[in-house]
Structure 1
Amino acid sequence: MRFNLVYLFFALSASGLSKVIKHDIPAPPTPEPIGVTELPLPPVTNESCTPELNPKGTGCIGLGKYGAGFQIGGFLPDSRHIVAHVTYAGAPSAPDPASIYEGQQIVLIKTDGTTKGEPLAPRYDLVNVTRLSSLKNDPPFAVNRDQLTFNPLTNFVGELRGFSGRGGEVSYIGHSVESSNIDVFAVERSTGKVRRLTAHPEYVDPVDISPDDEWTAAMDTRGSDRQMQRGAINDPEWDGRADPKWSPDGTKIVYWQDLTASPACGGNNPLPCYPSPYQGGRYVRFMVANLTSREPVELPRVEPVSDGVPWGTPYMPGQQAPGFPRPSEGKYTLRDTKGGYANVTIIDNEDLATICSIRESFTRTNPSVTIENAVWFSDLVQTGNVNATKKTSSNGFRLSIDVLTNIFDATGNLTTTINGVVYKQPANRT
């Protein structure tokens, strides 16, 4: 699983929000009823998958602590089956027929409560693969002599989130428009035209666009003020994980959750750990949100399109990803679209990891692939419609974090104040 920050609820957004800009925010859609159901999973074992645990001999699964070895997929075309990634455990040795239920596997799970049937769908081969980037595309940051320009609506695809409902667009995590603001974008496959789907300072990542392209299901921490965790539907600390997926008929959204486990709770962390209510102490569960007031959508067949992506790069197996241009070392002026400017000085060190600017400096090193060490000095003041400051201790704010465990460890302080509201860093070891 890629995400260490877990997602806590999903919001249904009408397609008009895809055009949102700061001064033109449409009204939210009308609330609608949503019924949430839990999908069945095999029994859990910490040792052997015995007949007492699994009389049918169809396998047992592991605990799924931290969500490891589990992930939800999407619906099959019938909207009644979902694909899921699970990890089997404790299988007997061959030639026992149950020996096949071991390790990581892909399974189908029924969502309608029935126990019979044979889902069938066409298979496919993977051909004509295209990398969704090209050195010919304009980069987000461009240099013209001593002027630095920024254009976030360039088709430099970050983390891919999937296709739109009708397949004409690809959604992805793009370059931050505002500082450190994670948002989702969509790029038109045939033209490379980019639009911004979300605009909010809270964290958003997993999204899925409905089959008719009219709605977006987004899992984020919006409305919680600073990425605080929100409660699950009926019990504490069951946190939403990526990714939500629409059913082809537009009446269901499948997602999954895991239970907070140490060190994300207990010990130095003020958040308590809660016991699992499930057999064997299982930490994961798969859920379906049923949009009970909606009728199934009937969509016309998608017409075939060219395999080519004009703004992409054809990929051959074994081919290395190219490096992309970035501003070279030097002093630049970056002008705001509304007025004002910033003087920017870029200094490369041996690791190409240091960027400095007036009144704020940030140095990053990577002792290993997953560990980030940062030294941050800041003394910024903003006045006007929003009065804000961002300040560090006199000796700086020094942070070390492993992205695989996401446990916070820092010395010094980083304090942001916005219109009198003070935001401080989390406690260490949380």
Structure 2
Amino acid sequence: MALILALAVTSTSWQPAHASPAAGSGQAVPPPPKPEPIKVRQLPLPPVTPSIEAGSCTTENNPRGTGCIGQSPGLFSGNFLPDSRNIVATVLFTGAPAAPHPSSIYTGQQLILVRADGTTFPNGDAWKCVTCGIPPGNAPGPADAMDYPQAFGDGKRVLAGTNIIDCGPYKLADRACTPQRVRIYPIRWNTTADGSGPGGSIRELRLHPDDTHLGFSSMTVTGGRLDQFSYMGRLQFNPSPTTGTPLVPRYDLVKVSRLFDPNATQPVDVDPSDPGKLRFDPFVPSVGELRGFSADGREVTYVGYPAESSNIDVFAADLTTGKVRRLTADPEYVDPVDLSPDGKWTVVMDTRGTDRLSFLSAMRGVPGITDLLSASAISAARNNGKRRFFQPYLIDAYGDRGSYAGQRLNAAGDGSPGSINDPLWNGRADPKWSPDGTHIAYWQSLAVAPDCGGQNPLPCPVSTAPGGRTERLMIADLTSRPPQTREPVVPVSDTVPWGVPYEPGSAIPARTHLTQGTYTLDGKKSGSAEVTVTENSTRTAISTVAVTYQDYSDDGRYVINGTETMTLQNDTPFHNKIDWFSDLVRTDIGTGRVHATKRTSPDGFHLDITVGTNKFQATGTLTTTVDGHVYNQPANGT
């Protein structure tokens, strides 16, 4: 995913709680930074062959015989090597001639390095394939995908998918790092008491900057609904495993902690001193989907429980103390995030500026109560299939505030096809800082069928990238920033005090839910909300949440009145059918002026969406109006 000479982006005026390091500390929050000069460049990738047929990559396509990629090259951009001049990435090579032709090694998904400084490798290419031609004995494990590559701090290893790619004593960018010297080791998480079996399924792997620990997430199903927990463990090389598969040299995850404690306070729970009252605190450490770590390794970043209703944000939690801070607060959707080497900046991929989800979230200050049912569906609505709406933004450490919503890195340009800010080129995961703090790498994809063309109202654009590629690798140069020297990272403890040690073979905890009944949630400044919870027939999950607000206020500036009711049905864990009725009004306390409304049509708003497919389909309407600005839902299928 990704980030230019700035565009001042405005958002609804508001004052977020806990949005910055200074929140609650008495420290004054400084004014927003001025836009800075940023130059964005497209980086070179291997040449394109228009056909995937064997032998289609000829010397006309690539005179050096170092391989070709297709128009949809399966690009995954990663981070920088420690030198800040090489970026790790994976691409899908295609069209190679059959063996024993020397170019036959350039086939399938492979790890490459891409020069970010305009220079080339000794053979004249601006990229180097690290894994092409590895002898089979150097990669004896299963051929797992090598997505989301992340370089270790030693410059000799890369995490890619559930593999670690290792060039031994040689740096990956050195001439001496040849495929014959590269080894690929699988990663295994033991989930059985006797150590047998293939291990647990892990996703969204993120390397800790101490090069020793790994964060990851794992899907599960709770009460018939999709759920996810995140973990952190130590990478331990096992040269000769005797249990579990694969029985090849591998990295085992040991000393694993689940970054969630079912016995601790949850974002929405019952007040133990008064069972008729609810407490709402999204700043308890409860990691949803893990997104990475701060550069100093002290914090884990993650998608957290919404601090404001229907607003999906990223948070950071201190691995030792559990103190949580909110990194973003714009009403649009975000999940890709990377913190700068000096900890003073955040780069995100966000739908802000598109109004994609503002019809749900533009009314501020509504506590995340109906999100007990809607969070998965709202997350899925951020995309239209593979058509994304992310753009890269640079935000200072104090976060979104007032009219400041960060600086869009690729704002400069005329918006024409193929330009830096072409709206049909959209960001992917993850934007990454260079170790010296002067560059940000990101990657984008172009809308392609079936998420454009045909019956879709969006026409399919024609790619202007080399060879008609529909994916591109970009770099934002922060031209006014001097290079920094990155401080060594102190290895973190294997123990996360606010987490729970994972015991192999133990059951995945069932995430607790509110029991059926009626509760009161007091506003932090005034008023209250009456919350009625209805469970499903088996009492394994909540089916309906109904909320009535009466002069409810957490900020002392605005009050919320009205009602909101939501019912969720899941015939499969991934399929969400939501019936939503809303009639909310937000009023300025000082003037009595109506500031915002959030209303459904008389027959309600009915959303049908499948996580992973992410195709927006709804009947009825849900409309939010803020200071006269009307936010409407997207059309079905867009």
TM-score by length of 2: 0.60
| 1:19 and 2:35 correspond | no
Contact 2:86 2:115 in 1 (8 A): yes
**Match of residue 342 from structure 2:** 212
1:22-421 alignment runs, 5 A limit: 26-45=30-49, 46-48=51-53, 49-51=56-58, 52-64=60-72, 69-116=74-121, 121-123=155-157, 126-127=235-236, 128-144=255-271, 145-225=275-355, 231=415, 233=420, 235-315=422-502, 321-350=508-537, 352-358=541-547, 359-385=563-589, 386-421=594-629
* Range with bigger deviation, 25-34 or 147-156: 25-34
> Which residue identity lines up with residue 68 of structure 2 in the other structure?
C
How large is the RMSD of aligned CA atoms in angstroms?
3.2
Q: How many pairs align?
A: 420
> Which residue identity lines up with residue 36 of structure 1 in the other structure?
V
Shift, 1:131, TM fit:
2.5
CA deviations 1:132-189 (Å, max 9, x no partner) are 2223432112213111101111110112221112111111111101101122211111
**Match of residue 3 from structure 1:** none
Q: Which runs of 5+ in 2 are unaligned?
A: 9-17, 123-127, 131-153, 158-210, 213-234, 237-254, 359-388, 392-414, 548-562
Cα 1:274/1:175, change in 2 over 3 Å: same
> Which residue identity lines up with residue 180 of structure 1 in the other structure?
S
> Which residue identity lines up with residue 27 of structure 1 in the other structure?
P
Shift, 1:378, TM fit:
2.2
- Distance in 1 (CA, whole Å) between partners of 2:72 and 2:503 is 35
Contact 1:173 1:205 in 2 (8 A): yes
SS at match of 2:20: helix
* Range with bigger deviation, 358-367 or 81-90: 358-367
Cα 1:36/1:288, change in 2 over 3 Å: same
Contact 2:19 2:326 in 1 (8 A): no
Contact 1:408 1:429 in 2 (8 A): yes
SS at match of 1:99: helix
Shift, 1:282, TM fit:
1.3
Shift, 1:251, TM fit:
0.8
Shift, 1:192, TM fit:
1.4
Cα 1:381/1:302, change in 2 over 3 Å: closer
Shift, 1:270, TM fit:
4.2
Shift, 1:253, TM fit:
0.4
> Which residue identity lines up with residue 629 of structure 2 in the other structure?
V
- Distance in 2 (CA, whole Å) between partners of 1:411 and 1:174 is 29
- Distance in 2 (CA, whole Å) between partners of 1:25 and 1:260 is 40
Cα 1:10/1:99, change in 2 over 3 Å: farther
Shift, 1:122, TM fit:
4.4
> Which residue identity lines up with residue 356 of structure 1 in the other structure?
V
Contact 1:162 1:170 in 2 (8 A): yes
Contact 1:139 1:326 in 2 (8 A): no
> Which residue identity lines up with residue 510 of structure 2 in the other structure?
G
Contact 2:277 2:519 in 1 (8 A): yes
Q: Percent identity?
A: 54
Shift, 1:411, TM fit:
1.6
- Distance in 2 (CA, whole Å) between partners of 1:380 and 1:152 is 22
Shift, 1:10, TM fit:
11
CA deviations 1:376-403 (Å, max 9, x no partner) are 2223333335433322233322221233
SS at match of 1:347: strand
Contact 2:69 2:94 in 1 (8 A): yes
Contact 2:37 2:478 in 1 (8 A): yes
Cα 1:410/1:25, change in 2 over 3 Å: farther
Contact 2:89 2:114 in 1 (8 A): yes
Cα 1:211/1:58, change in 2 over 3 Å: same
- Distance in 2 (CA, whole Å) between partners of 1:33 and 1:421 is 31
Contact 1:11 1:218 in 2 (8 A): no
> Which residue identity lines up with residue 116 of structure 2 in the other structure?
T
> Which residue identity lines up with residue 297 of structure 1 in the other structure?
Q
- Distance in 2 (CA, whole Å) between partners of 1:98 and 1:137 is 57
CA deviations 1:298-329 (Å, max 9, x no partner) are 23322334222222233456665322222222
SS at match of 2:103: helix
Contact 1:20 1:199 in 2 (8 A): no
- Distance in 1 (CA, whole Å) between partners of 2:512 and 2:423 is 46
Cα 1:170/1:342, change in 2 over 3 Å: same
* Range with bigger deviation, 256-265 or 284-293: 256-265
Shift, 1:204, TM fit:
2.4
Q: Which runs of 5+ in 1 are unaligned?
A: 1-5
Shift, 1:369, TM fit:
4.0
Cα 1:241/1:11, change in 2 over 3 Å: farther
Cα 1:299/1:7, change in 2 over 3 Å: closer
- Distance in 2 (CA, whole Å) between partners of 1:245 and 1:12 is 21
> Which residue identity lines up with residue 38 of structure 1 in the other structure?
Q
Contact 1:251 1:291 in 2 (8 A): yes
TM-score by length of 1: 0.87
- Distance in 1 (CA, whole Å) between partners of 2:521 and 2:5 is 36
Shift, 1:288, TM fit:
0.7
SS at match of 2:430: strand
